[in-house]
Structure 1
Amino acid sequence: MRIGLAIDTEDWHARRLMRAFAARGITVVPFRLSDAAFDTGHPHGLALPGFDDGLPNAVLVRSISGGSFEEVTRRLGVLHALREQGVLVWNDARAIERCVDKSTTSFFLAHAGIATPPTWAVEGQAAALKVADRECPTGPLVLKPLFGSQGRGLRLITTGADLPPPEIVGGVYYLQRYIPTGTGTFHDHRLFVCAGSVVAAMTRQAETWVTNVRQGAQTLPFQPDSRMTDLAIRAASCVGAAYAGVDILVDGDGRPWVLEVNSMPGWKGLQRVTATSVAGHIAAGLLAALR
């Protein structure tokens, strides 16, 4: 059995995953989706680095490097093609597409009846101004890049004047109701879901309302209750993610809200505050799905 590991670089996460599979007697072949090719002359229509003699039994997608719209679309196309060939892909292109586009994530969460902040995604500053003028009197909004990650580019919108020009946001304004914790502190929770279970969790505490670890938030151990655990599992399931990092904020009334679902989550900060091996759970979950 051979597992393909889609990566950008052989970083901390990739090394952890390779060790976890090796401990289970499984060979992992790392490769970059940018180096994979559609080749209709090939028996499977695909040419994957490291798999000249056939397709892998499964592919674990750790990361997809950034690029032009065409480049990213082609890389996702490779994942679609692998699934069509019967290769197990974690997470497959459908789940990645649903999670990378925050507006689609919000749609799936709301459609599944999962508590998520009211959200609006519109094109053009005029449409965004209408949303801000209507909604800001009730409370502030959070503007997020539609395809952003790691807390970059977040803005608090209290009036329409806070909206940046369209070129800053690629012409798309993704606006979400700001949910305060009601405790006077800034924190939320990351729950790591794998194969239908929450395998680890942490609190992210910050000095500002942006609580991402890459923006300086402190990580603390956290034990979610059954209500929050169920919410995270349902959130991952509704977007079709086999594994995911689910971000949950609890408001002043004690109600949990799902903010985001990350289909290619990092867990370096999480691993510092949990004794369980996150990579081990991913490896075990994928291998169980192959049986």
Structure 2
Amino acid sequence: MRRIAIFTDDPGWHGKQLCRAFAERDCVAEYVSLTACRIQTAGIPLLHIPGFEQKLPDAVFVRGVPGGSLEEVVFYLDVLHALKLLGVPVYNDGHAIERSVDKAMTSFLLQNAGLPTPMTWVLRDRDEALTVAEQELAAGHYLISKPLFGSQGEGIRRIEKSTDLFWLTSSHGIYYLQRFVECDGEGYYDKRVFVINGKAVAAMRRRGISWLNNVARGATCEAIALSDEVAELAVRAVAVLKMDYAGVDIIRQRDGSLSVIEVNSVPAWKGLQSVCGVDIAACLVQDLLERHVGQSA
């Protein structure tokens, strides 16, 4: 029986869903914290994964990467990279995590590939950041200030007027500024598209109680019919970032065009599953086992 490691510090509902889906495929899944792993070049195996001392896992599902100092985050990614080098399938792998957890690189890669994404500035100098913000406000554009690393809407501010510049926040000295995108229609909403192995398998509309559309911030989930246009854009975004699976946030702007707001390599799906009727965990586990472990249905 194959043994799978699920990297997470907070298994919760998603962990239970994954364990159930793995069990249905005759696999045993165990939770492991990346904080408890270690690299050890003094012996065999070169990696110490708690619970897998005698034999490394048959595959790893990355459900969460802890925050921390730069050194800590680099170490967690080192563990993911090392596992893959040792022949253990990692889903999503370290490179995919790196490309998406860093909002600057995500914006760069999407724009470089010609995909529609909001105008963004990432810079070190505060005076230059203030100049960018003042110019955007003078041109009639709101701005979003985001931490370079973060999720679920934490640390995000909207800059609407000059006095808001006092709240211009940096992420350890780096300023990430993005032009605020007004969606078409009334209120605030975007579309979350879940992509697995190059296919859009489910989607929903997230309607926020404010300009933030995160479910963790009170947004409601609504079922939608996924258009070919939206599905194709989501799939292209995931392909650019070279991910096995991802949650892609897309907004239709007031001029009718689409824009990719974010690509999440460790997306939650509890809200999505509540309205789409798709067993997301089963789809993820099937893709991991069939493509990377060689276990067919």
Q: What range describes the TM-score normalised by the shorter chain of this pair?
A: over 0.9
1:70-81 to 2 correspondences below 5 Å: 70-81=71-82
Structure 1 residue 271: deviation in Å?
Answer: 1.4
Where structure 2 has 5 or more consecutive residues not aligned to the other structure, the ranges are: none
**Structure 2 counterpart SS, 1:136:** helix
Q: Contact 1:124–1:166 (CA<8 Å) still a contact in 2? A: no
User: Which residue in the other structure is 1:236 paired with?
Assistant: 238
Structure 1 residue 41: deviation in Å?
Answer: 2.6
Q: Contact 1:129–1:160 (CA<8 Å) still a contact in 2? A: no
Whole-angstrom CA distance in 1 between matches of 2:171 and 2:58:
39
**Structure 1 counterpart SS, 2:138:** coil
Whole-angstrom CA distance in 1 between matches of 2:191 and 2:35:
33
User: Which residue in the other structure is 2:263 paired with?
Assistant: 261
Structure 1 residue 155: deviation in Å?
Answer: 1.5
- Tell me whether 1:12 sits opposite 2:8 in the alignment: no
Where structure 1 has 5 or more consecutive residues not aligned to the other structure, the ranges are: none
- Over 3 Å counting, the alpha-carbon distance change for 1:27 and 1:59 in structure 2 is same
Whole-angstrom CA distance in 2 between matches of 1:169 and 1:85:
34
Structure 1 residue 82: deviation in Å?
Answer: 0.7
1:1-291 to 2 correspondences below 5 Å: 1-138=2-139, 139-164=141-166, 169-290=171-292, 291=294
Deviations 1:63-83 (A, max 9, x none): 012222222211111001111
Deviations 1:157-214 (A, max 9, x none): 2345423467654222111111111313111011111111111111011231111111
**Structure 2 counterpart SS, 1:176:** strand
Whole-angstrom CA distance in 2 between matches of 1:134 and 1:151:
25
Report sequence identity in percent: 43
Deviations 1:133-160 (A, max 9, x none): 2222231111111112101222222345
Whole-angstrom CA distance in 1 between matches of 2:238 and 2:175:
24
Whole-angstrom CA distance in 2 between matches of 1:230 and 1:79:
29
Aligned partner letter, 2:146? K
Whole-angstrom CA distance in 1 between matches of 2:48 and 2:133:
48
Aligned partner letter, 1:136? L
Structure 1 residue 37: deviation in Å?
Answer: 0.7
135-144 vs 11-20, greater mean Cα deviation: 135-144
| TM-score, length of structure 2 as denominator length | 0.93
Structure 1 residue 46: deviation in Å?
Answer: 0.6
Q: Contact 1:198–1:232 (CA<8 Å) still a contact in 2? A: yes
Whole-angstrom CA distance in 2 between matches of 1:166 and 1:156:
9
167-176 vs 231-240, greater mean Cα deviation: 167-176
Whole-angstrom CA distance in 2 between matches of 1:241 and 1:134:
36
Once superposed, what is the RMSD of the aligned Cα atoms?
A: 1.5
Whole-angstrom CA distance in 1 between matches of 2:212 and 2:255:
21
Deviations 1:190-242 (A, max 9, x none): 11111111111110112311111111111101222111101111111111211
Whole-angstrom CA distance in 2 between matches of 1:157 and 1:289:
44
| TM-score, length of structure 1 as denominator length | 0.95
**Structure 2 counterpart SS, 1:270:** helix
Structure 1 residue 59: deviation in Å?
Answer: 0.7
Whole-angstrom CA distance in 1 between matches of 2:167 and 2:255:
35
Structure 1 residue 131: deviation in Å?
Answer: 1.1
Whole-angstrom CA distance in 1 between matches of 2:8 and 2:256:
38
Whole-angstrom CA distance in 1 between matches of 2:155 and 2:72:
23
Moved >4 Å (runs of 4+): 164-168
Whole-angstrom CA distance in 1 between matches of 2:15 and 2:229:
32
Structure 1 residue 53: deviation in Å?
Answer: 1.7
Aligned partner letter, 1:44? P
The number of aligned residues is 291
Q: Contact 2:169–2:175 (CA<8 Å) still a contact in 1? A: no
**Structure 2 counterpart SS, 1:183:** coil
**Structure 2 counterpart SS, 1:65:** coil
